[in-house]
Amino acid sequence: MKCPIDDTALQMMERQGIEIDYCPTCRGIWLDRGELDKIIERDSASQGGERRSEGRGRVEENERSGLLENIFDFI
């Protein structure tokens, strides 16, 4: 499969049971159908559900970074 941005051959990697296609040139990340849902579910589960800040219903970015950083730390 080729990168839709720069036509470079995509590299495939499995991280925590999730297949990730990435472009080594432009560093774009491409997920198959349902893979983003898996990442979101695992992120929520790893944090014991979504944490809210100040009761406003907003999830702080730094609270969500743990699992996502672990999955995408190869870039």
Tens-place pLDDT, residues 56-71: 444 444 545 566 666 6
Domain membership of residue 12 as a residue range:
1-32
Question: Is residue 43 located within the same domain as residue 28?
Answer: no
Q: Number of folded domains in the chain? A: 2
Q: Do residues 24 and 1 both lie within one domain?
A: yes
- Measured between alpha carbons, how far is 56 from 48 in angstroms, rounded to an integer? 18
pLDDT, one tens digit per residue, over 19-35 is 899 999 999 999 888 89
DSSP string for residues in 52-68:
-BTTTTBPPHHHHHHHH
pTM for the full predicted model? 0.55
Write down the H helix ranges in the chain. 35-46, 61-71
Confidence class for position 9, pLDDT limits 50, 70, 90: very high
Residue 74 lies in a domain: no
Does a structural domain hold residue 70?
A: no
